[in-house]
Structure 1
Amino acid sequence: MKKIKNLLIGTNNKGKLKEIRALLPKYIKTYSTSDFNLKSPRESGKTFADNSIIKSKYFSKKTNLLCLADDSGLEIDILDKAPGIYSARWGGKNLDFKKAIKRVYRELDKKDKDWRNKKIKARFICVLSVSFLSKTIKCVKGKVEGTISNIPKGKNGFGYDPIFIPIGKKFTFGEISPKLKYKSDHRFKAFKKIKKFL
């Protein structure tokens, strides 16, 4: 298969854009949705995979470019896997993740007043899809298991990174260096599966 030279990264999330660019081989010229002033489509899917594919097809059709899109989020077991596919929406219209994190803590308090003394199981899930126009070429999933931190820690990363402690680690994704995070998170795991294709 011939090497891909041009690729649109189908996200309006600057944090994701930066991370995906850091993972891609250098010979690929990447474009972002903001290069084309594209707004994101309505994510009406029921799963991460549905929403990832909605985005990669939509952005590809708009630009005629091969598109790699990501749908990812945080699942917390005790909250019946919420926020899940609604992870970004918990941040409201402005994607304010401080607000989203406060909501996570509010929901946990409602479920169990004593949750801070327990290990609250959670995972980050990322589904990457590559589409060209209306054809989906590849769709893969990566996940990383962990627990929820009692308080947000660290200024690195984005989204829910400050409250997620990966299994076997003492620090949140918000506390570790981006380089280290890129080598261990859910996006990297999904990326390893899709890399053969790139």
Structure 2
Amino acid sequence: MKPKKISELLIGTNNKGKLREIKALLPKNIKIFSTSDFNLKSPRENGKTFKENSFIKAKFFSKKSDQICISDDSGLEIKVLNNQPGIYSARWGGKNNDFDLAIKKVFKKLDKKMPGWRNKIIKANFICALTIYWPSGKYKTSIGKIYGRISNIKAGTKGFGYDPIFIPHGSKKTFGQILPKKKYKIDHRYKAFQKIKKFL
């Protein structure tokens, strides 16, 4: 049986960068709501994985709004740092999600773990879990990853989060330097979306 197409959808995030990017991925015929339309604050993310946190957010926002909701949980994993910051990617920026602070923390940890790292290839990947949750309790989750390396300097003002220090495979530019339209067609969120878009 073919899944019923969605005509209205709440994007379950209070992160403006994520809201912008998820909105750009969605079909234009879907009526989009944001959490601000329902004056919703974010739930406590106490899952152990991206998948769990994505589910927590999608379920919370769906139940509060009585809307079908799509929520993302994503982050940066750096191999030599045992895949940190991982699910704590946003939390490394402190209470205000200050990613300048988070990026400084990444560089500080790399300096400590691997002096001279700026002359080496530091493998990393972005990971995204996307969950669509229906008020009935039905849900679907997908995972997307993009591999690359850490830039030895912060570069670019496009994008958000750790974008200025992540260089995807096959590129010399960070996500912070790549045009959003191009980034939206290759990144971890796009890859997760490709696996879930049949419901839209």
| Aligned position for 2:39 | 37
| Aligned position for 1:25 | 27
Change in 2 beyond 3 A, CA 1:96/1:136: farther
Please report how far the alpha carbon of residue 16 of structure 1 lies from its aligned counterpart in structure 2 after TM superposition.
0.4
Please report how far the alpha carbon of residue 135 of structure 1 lies from its aligned counterpart in structure 2 after TM superposition.
2.0
Please report how far the alpha carbon of residue 168 of structure 1 lies from its aligned counterpart in structure 2 after TM superposition.
1.2
From 143, 147, 167, give the equivalent of 2:149: 147
Please report how far the alpha carbon of residue 196 of structure 1 lies from its aligned counterpart in structure 2 after TM superposition.
1.1
Does the CA-based 8 Å contact 2:54-2:131 persist in structure 1?
yes
The residue type equivalent to 2:197 in the other structure is K
Does the CA-based 8 Å contact 1:60-1:133 persist in structure 2?
yes
From 71, 74, 78, give the equivalent of 2:73: 71
The residue type equivalent to 1:196 in the other structure is K
Q: Distance in 1 between matches of 2:26 and 2:91?
A: 27
| Aligned position for 2:162 | 160
Please report how far the alpha carbon of residue 13 of structure 1 lies from its aligned counterpart in structure 2 after TM superposition.
0.4
Q: Distance in 1 between matches of 2:138 and 2:84?
A: 27
Q: Deviations over 1:10-60 (max 9, x none)?
A: 000000000000010001001011111111000000000000000000000
| Aligned position for 2:61 | 59
| Aligned position for 1:190 | 192
Q: Distance in 1 between matches of 2:190 and 2:149?
A: 19
Does the CA-based 8 Å contact 2:9-2:68 persist in structure 1?
yes
Q: Which runs of 4+ in 1 moved over 3 A?
A: none
What's the secondary structure of 1:17's corresponding residue?
helix
Superposition pairs of residues 74-93 of structure 1, within 5 angstroms = 74-93=76-95
Please report how far the alpha carbon of residue 136 of structure 1 lies from its aligned counterpart in structure 2 after TM superposition.
4.2
Matching of residue 128 in structure 1 with residue 130 in structure 2: yes
Please report how far the alpha carbon of residue 2 of structure 1 lies from its aligned counterpart in structure 2 after TM superposition.
2.7
Change in 2 beyond 3 A, CA 1:134/1:96: farther
What's the secondary structure of 2:132's corresponding residue?
strand
Matching of residue 97 in structure 1 with residue 72 in structure 2: no
The residue type equivalent to 1:157 in the other structure is G
CA RMSD in angstroms comes to 0.8
| Aligned position for 2:117 | 115
What's the secondary structure of 1:139's corresponding residue?
strand
- The TM-score normalised by the length of structure 2 is 0.97
Please report how far the alpha carbon of residue 133 of structure 1 lies from its aligned counterpart in structure 2 after TM superposition.
3.1
- The TM-score normalised by the length of structure 1 is 0.98
| Aligned position for 1:48 | 50
The residue type equivalent to 1:169 in the other structure is S
- Segments of structure 1 that go 5 or more residues without pairing to the other structure are none
Change in 2 beyond 3 A, CA 1:134/1:114: farther
What's the secondary structure of 1:196's corresponding residue?
helix
What's the secondary structure of 1:135's corresponding residue?
coil
Q: Deviations over 1:97-130 (max 9, x none)?
A: 0010000000111101111111000000000001
Does the CA-based 8 Å contact 1:57-1:136 persist in structure 2?
no
Q: Distance in 1 between matches of 2:62 and 2:125?
A: 29
Q: Deviations over 1:158-180 (max 9, x none)?
A: 00000000011100000010000
- Segments of structure 2 that go 5 or more residues without pairing to the other structure are none
Number of residues of Structure 1 aligned to a counterpart in Structure 2: 198
